[in-house]
Amino acid sequence: MEGLRDRTKRAVRAELARQALELFAERGFDETTVDDIARAAGLSKRSFFRYFPTKEDAVFGELDAMGEQIAQEVAGRPPEEGPWECLHAVLRGWEERINAQVDAMRLVESTPALRTRLLQKRDEVRGRVIRALADRGVPPFEADLAAAAAGAALDAVAREWLRTDGSADRLALVDRAFTMLRPAFLS
């Protein structure tokens, strides 16, 4: 048995994230101190940093795990598939899960520190995806370009989605973006 402690830990983590998001929404990111968040969740600033490495990560908590899974899905795709189709297929699947919350995205997009952290996270994911593609035999430059372009595509889709106040069909946008950028990756 090793599930009880982990469960409480995840519960605290979730509560912390919830409180953080709420405070950010009402007061703004910069106007909210880590101490405020911790207090609201019933613990100390010191403990906050045992759950999240930075203040920003209270918003992007599970993004790291997502990156790992994305890389794994890329690795698990049929070997004959080209890199671009591979990324298109995998990311299409994730697009739905990523952000149903318009308000959270607005918060991120309107807060430089959060926007920055998001770019950073995506950069890390890109690194993992490149390695996954490399394992499929894709040459480094092609892998790098494909991963970077795919990230750019998702980013553009997200912003377009915000521009239309969340009324656009995200899957359609993803398909459109990936089609427009369809590279000469063999295919």
Q: Which stretch binds DNA (CB under 7 A): 40-48, 74-82, 119-127, 176-184?
A: 40-48
Hey, is 181 helix, strand or coil? coil
Q: Which residues contact 157 (CB under 8 A, 6 or more apart)?
A: 95, 170, 173, 174, 177
Q: How far apart are CA 177 and CA 157, in angstroms?
A: 7
Residue 157: CB atoms within 10 Å: 23
95 binds, among a copy of itself, DNA, none (CB under 5 to 8 A by kind): none
DSSP 144-172: HHHHHHHHHHHHHHHHHHHHTTT-S-HHH
47 binds, among a copy of itself, DNA, none (CB under 5 to 8 A by kind): DNA
Tallying the residues shown for the chain, one arrives at: 187
Question: Which residue's CB is nearer to a copy of itself, number 152 or number 171?
Answer: 152
The reply on whether position 109 binds a copy of itself by CB under 8 A is no
Q: How far apart are CA 126 and CA 63, in angstroms?
A: 12
Residue 123 beta carbon to DNA: minimum distance, rounded to whole angstroms? 16
Q: Total binding residues for a copy of itself by CB under 8 A?
A: 31
The reply on whether position 184 binds a copy of itself by CB under 8 A is yes
45 binds, among a copy of itself, DNA, none (CB under 5 to 8 A by kind): DNA
Question: Which residue's CB is nearer to DNA, number 12 or number 134?
Answer: 12
Torsion angle (degrees, nearest 10) of CA 77, 148, 122, 152: -110
| Contacts of DNA in 10-29 (CB under 7 A) | 12
What residues make contact with DNA under the rule CB under 7 A? Answer: 1-2, 4-5, 9, 12, 32-35, 38, 42-47, 49-51, 53-56
